[in-house]
Amino acid sequence: MTALEDPPEDGSEVFPREPTNWNAADAPPGPIATVPRSKAAASEWYDALSGWYDAIADPFERSARATGLDVLDAAPGERVLDVGCGTGTALVSIANNVGPNGTAVGIDLADGMCRESRRALAATGLDPGIVIAGDAATMPVRTGAFDALFASFVLELFDTPDILDVLAEWRRVLAPDGRLCVVSLSRRDDGPVTRLYESVHDRFPTKVDCRPIYVRDTLREAGFRIAETRDERAWRLPVEVVLCRPN
């Protein structure tokens, strides 16, 4: 699912280039791991984690998530969806940025995470009700409803055969001139730390369900135009922060 097409000989591009030079040497070094656990198992796991998720995951996610929010650059009056909003850390930031004339909505598969997001919004005096319990692969949202989508450590939770369909759904709910910011573990650095992490994922696919993927390549294949990329680290694991737009 990460095959790339070579640029046509006439100089036109299959997908507009990202802001850095790309060549064949940048092609993905190998296949990505699968996600064998079911969505029901994922929902149950994150429900159980919801009350203490931040204590475990926030030190890992905080820096890359902050970079992603900076790249997203949500503006006053915008309509923004936080996909896989978790405990609401990013959603609170987005809600503050879009202001009273904007709309910030969160969606998460786990009811416990939705409750935590609502509590986080209410604790800062924001509307706690705009959080949807639902599957980000089939969202109860009208087409073109949002100016921007934000997904931090979410895309890599979907199994490999499903990712392109998931991205098609995210693209559906974006306005034609909208933008998507993805923060995800990256497999571009196929080093020993990544391989060790993947081996843990293989042994404990429910508890360690995030696994590195080829973010830019997958977004290109899904028909998005890469606008900006940044490289981050999460406890020595490579992370890609990618801003893209529908072609």
Instruction: Give residue 146's pLDDT.
Output: 98
Which residues share a beta bridge with 240? Answer: 184, 231
User: What architecture is the 30-246 domain classified under in CATH?
Assistant: 3-Layer(aba) Sandwich (3.40)
| Confidence band, pLDDT 50/70/90 cuts, at residue 197 | low
Q: What is the pLDDT of residues 33-60, one digit of tens each?
A: 677 777 887 888 778 888 887 888 888 8
| Residue 76 pLDDT > 80 | yes
Q: Would you give the end-to-end CA distance of the chain in angstroms?
A: 19
- Domain limits, the chain: 30-246
Mean pLDDT of 216-232: 95
C-alpha 180: how far from chain center: 9
Instruction: Give residue 234's pLDDT.
Output: 80
Instruction: Give residue 205's pLDDT.
Output: 64
**Structure pTM?**
0.82
| Residue 20 pLDDT > 60 | no
C-alpha closest to that of 40 among 110, 126, 142, 118: 110
Instruction: Give residue 242's pLDDT.
Output: 98
Instruction: Give residue 193's pLDDT.
Output: 67
- Contact present, 74 and 97 (Cβ < 8 Å): yes
| Residue 104 pLDDT > 70 | yes
More confident residue, 58 or 152: 152
Strand order in the sheet with 174-185: 131-133, 103-108, 79-83, 146-152, 174-185, 237-246, 224-234
Q: What is the pLDDT of residues 154-196, one digit of tens each?
A: 999 898 889 999 999 999 999 999 999 999 999 877 677 667 6
Instruction: Give residue 119's pLDDT.
Output: 95
| Residue 4 pLDDT > 50 | no
Instruction: Give residue 77's pLDDT.
Output: 96
The Cα 55–Cα 68 span in angstroms is 20
